[in-house]
Structure 1
Amino acid sequence: MTQLHHPPTARIHIESRECSPQVLERLTGATYFPERLLGPAIVGTVCRGGGHLLYVTAPQMIDADQQVDYYLGLLSGGSHQGGTDGPRGARDLVRIVTLDDASTRWLSTKVLDPVSARAASVRSDMREFVDTHLRAGADVRLSYFEPSRPLELLARDLGVPGTQPSAAHIPLATKHASRKIFTAAGVPVPQGTDVCHDPAALATAVATLARAGHRRIVLKLNSTAYGGGFGNALLELDDDIASAPEERTEERVSRALPHASLVDRKI
């Protein structure tokens, strides 16, 4: 029986959360998001595959050793792939590099900072990691949390593939694009509108929904920079708006729009 040969693995993880920096500023603890995925990275790369892991994060992790020891402790009797002697031997497979930067900039921005000496040092560590493991015949990849053009360019410069679909496809994941895809495929979707580019067009579209009997309407900001509903507003319409003569409905909706309740009141 022929046994398949799997090359050793090596992964660089840059778990950068790439939404609006303005949103990140208002999310408590957002700067610590990158380190939250250390556990899955260790389990997936080291515990299950016996591979090498270079984990990049910022700001500096104050309990990095304890976190690594905890996740490596999930190894049982050295039964994982890779041949190391349990958690103690596997410790050599994990390396964490950090930047002392607690700003709300994307982690990718911190790593690619052209004037930061520390960022340049981290990029050098990444290059050395890639070159070393490619020479050893390993399957080397750059892993990141979500599609990102900067990280795609970094992967290209390192000469390794990324682990996400192309960032060019991000607009397809918006609610509006999804509605268009479902409609084209014949999948029923809730009643809505096309993208509106000015208040007058929005008033016209909402007036149509009002005349169809809708009184509570979600207005969504068509942007890939926001998440968690921060780009939404809830518009409550009175019955008398929809019952007004058609030529007056849009006027009344237009007056109601500024009173929509914003989820993110700082937009």
Structure 2
Amino acid sequence: MGAFERLQERLGDALDANVPGSTVEHVVVALPSYSMSATLLSHYRSRLAALEHRFLLGALQAGRIPGVHVVLVTSRDPGEVVLDYHARLADPHAPEGVRRRLSCLVVPDDSPRGVAAKLLDRPDLLTELRDRIGGRVALVEPWNVTAAEVEVAVALDAPLNGPAPQMWPLGFKSSARRLFREAGVPVPCGEEGVHDGTDVAAAVARMRRSRPDLDRLVVKVDDSGSGDGNRVVSTRDDRGEPLGEAVLAAQVLRGAPDWFLRDLAAGGVVEELVDGPRVTSPSAQVDLLPGGGVRLLATHEQVLGGAQRQEFVGSRFPADSAYAADLARHVSAVARLLARAGAVGRLAVDFVAVEDAGGWRLNALDLNLRKGGTSHSFAALRHLVPGCYDADRGRWVAEHDGGPRCYRSSDGVVDPVWLGLDPGRAIEAVADAGLAFDHEQGVGVVLHMMAALAVEGRVGVTAIGRTVDEADRLFAAVPDALRAAARRPGSRTR
């Protein structure tokens, strides 16, 4: 047994300390390392630090767990105003106590790399982080796990709440399709293991044997996320006639950027673009626990955007109750397979849902063996409105009033007018508009990713309401509040 395996034997005890009400002194190292492909990291370079700061929503746990100390490892200091804001959110009655248990370890490096790799370049900061842990019970909460995160965990002598790095490729698109079929979860017509236009054309020829009406399809790069490596293409000409295999091979990836062709060469899938009168993009999330347990967390509706409507831009919670129970059943089947293989940590499965005369049909599309685009918004809900997800009714039930809660969230609330808007003024603007989160009511707006205001006028918003309509109304009111703030003198970051 190696050092990492021995370390992971202590994960259960660390997680037992990290529960609401626990007074056991322990440390959670929040490590939003985003150890992804070089292509994906380069695309998000300008907002990497802001994405790292999304983990501050997870730090809201400090308001519910008196014994926890949270250390966020980040490439840019979010600033005292932002840290104080999260402390007040976590405990409006005693924010000073939370603030003493919330800190950052800044690794000053703006290169397009995960922060774990940056931290490994700084043994002095690794030593400082280990000193902050000070021999207490600790765990590392990563975004995903590769060799870099393992090396950090071993150096800190703290277990990782995530799967072993050799399991990381199980989340790739080709591997996910195989795993879905093994779990008995439906998938769209398609094939995995394609590498170029010739492979795609050959796969389409085989797909047409069972689907002669095949038209548009999606080519996906194996190692990608947030829809960034997806490309929608047509298999028919302008008259609606099917393109021949040779013509398709020559044309199917025409115009694709060089990075897409390069990444596809390492592997990808081709799938039918599922369509119908009404189509949605739900997801379901679970935690894989030490010992093989599975805990259902939530379902969401994903909001997709971009030119081809393949990019994840936000979410609504919960998913439609018409199929929420089926989402839970499918994700649990996949989770049990991964749990038996020894995986721990967060798992999410993305689906496409189509309504026709026979009701709703679900197909699984992607598997994320890591945290994802709904992890931070769900963290805000679970820590600010403690409760549980009722899988039978497909809704969140708040502890303090027994009522439901919903939310609308996005990392992409952006307006050039807000460029350089001071985070403190943004926070004030939301409060002045009567939108700030109200702990007594358990509703209101939470801001995140405020570092992105300085680079592209972007901010993250999670609006929690008692109904879907209330959450949508709160969310929609934020841009006007920020525009008003941006017009005031002295609103820009100095």
Question: TM-score band (shorter)?
Answer: 0.7 to 0.9
Query: Which residue of 194, 202, 205 maps to 2:203?
Result: 205
Structure number with bigger Rg: 1
1 CA distance for matches of 2:191 and 2:22?
53
Matched residue type, 2:129: M
Contact 2:197 2:250 in 1 (8 A): no
Secondary structure of residue in 2 paired with 1:13: strand
1 CA distance for matches of 2:184 and 2:70?
45
String of CA shifts for 1:110-166, please: whole Å, max 9, x gaps.
1111xxxxx232111112123x242xxxx3111221222211122123221112222
State how 1:1-267 maps to structure 2 within 5 Å. Answer: 7-27=24-44, 28-41=46-59, 43-44=60-61, 46-50=62-66, 51-61=68-78, 64-74=79-89, 75-77=91-93, 86-113=94-121, 119-130=122-133, 132-134=134-136, 139-211=137-209, 212-222=212-222, 224=223, 226-238=224-236, 239-241=240-242, 249-259=244-254, 262=256, 266-267=259-260
How far the C-alpha of 1:200 sits from its partner, in A, is 3.2
Secondary structure of residue in 2 paired with 1:176: helix
How far the C-alpha of 1:56 sits from its partner, in A, is 1.7
Secondary structure of residue in 2 paired with 1:220: strand
Structure 2 unaligned residues grouped into runs of 5+: 1-20, 261-494
TM-score, length basis structure 1: 0.76
How far the C-alpha of 1:5 sits from its partner, in A, is 7.8
Structure 1 unaligned residues grouped into runs of 5+: 78-85, 114-118, 243-248
Q: Which has the higher contact order (CA 8 A, sep 6+)?
A: 1
235 and 103 in structure 1: CA distance in 2 versus 1, 3 angstrom threshold? same
TM-score, length basis structure 2: 0.43
1 CA distance for matches of 2:98 and 2:113?
32
1 CA distance for matches of 2:88 and 2:181?
49
Matched residue type, 1:69: D
Matched residue type, 1:236: S
208 and 111 in structure 1: CA distance in 2 versus 1, 3 angstrom threshold? same
Matched residue type, 1:29: R
2 CA distance for matches of 1:96 and 1:227?
27
For these two proteins, the number of residue pairs brought into alignment is 232
121 and 254 in structure 1: CA distance in 2 versus 1, 3 angstrom threshold? same
48 and 133 in structure 1: CA distance in 2 versus 1, 3 angstrom threshold? farther
89 and 167 in structure 1: CA distance in 2 versus 1, 3 angstrom threshold? same
2 CA distance for matches of 1:91 and 1:168?
37
Aligned to 2:421: none
Aligned to 2:358: none
Using the aligned pairs only, state the percent identity. 23
Aligned to 1:116: none
122 and 181 in structure 1: CA distance in 2 versus 1, 3 angstrom threshold? same
Aligned to 1:81: none
Structure with greater helix percent: 1
Matched residue type, 1:47: G
2 CA distance for matches of 1:182 and 1:59?
38
Secondary structure of residue in 2 paired with 1:33: helix
52 and 171 in structure 1: CA distance in 2 versus 1, 3 angstrom threshold? same
2 CA distance for matches of 1:59 and 1:99?
7
- Alignment RMSD (CA, Å): 2.5
Structure with greater strand percent: 2
